[in-house]
Amino acid sequence: LLVCLAFVGHAAAAQGARGRISEGEMAVHLLATGVWLGGLAPLARAARRAGPGGGRLLRRFGSIALVCVCAILATGVGSGLALLAMTGSRLGPSYLAVLSVKLGLVAGLLALAAINRFRLTPLMAQDSARAAAALRRTILMEQVLGLGVIAAVGLLGQLDPSA
């Protein structure tokens, strides 16, 4: 269902080959976002039952999430460049304000993901109870920030980029 959203809004505004590329970029962007953020709830449930296998679960999720984050960043940059080309590099102040909020929330998501991957995953092998408790908190924060990103994206989709 997320991929369907790629065919409406700014990504679908371009015509011809550029339009199809924009739609493809957005489809990958949305799908990768859905996999990453959608995987957080099951990961939080699994963290409640953290035990010896918790580190392995975190590493597996981390590998999938890393692929998703790379796809999100690559397609986000591509979509941003396409938007700049479409608007003649003139984004309006309202659009820029909401885009700045979105990018700030994404930066927070990336920071939490780095904490999970580089701090809490190794801690799981040493102190699984402490790591699991911290992981539940960071996952909740990721979910809140993710909802904020989704809200910002919803607003961006309604704004004229030049406004």
Q: 27-38, pLDDT tens digit by residue?
A: 899 999 999 999
CA distance 28 to 2: 10
Q: What is the mean pLDDT of residues 72-96?
A: 88
Helices 93-115 and 54-87, interaxial angle, to 10°? 160
- With contact defined as beta carbons under 8 Å apart, do 83 and 36 qualify? no
Contacts of 3 (CB under 8 A, 6+ apart): 27, 30, 31
CA distance 64 to 103: 22
- pLDDT for 145 beyond 80: yes
- With contact defined as beta carbons under 8 Å apart, do 113 and 61 qualify? no
Global pTM value: 0.83
Q: Percentage of the chain surpassing pLDDT 70?
A: 92
| pLDDT band per the 50, 70, 90 thresholds, residue 109 | very high
CA distance 56 to 53: 5
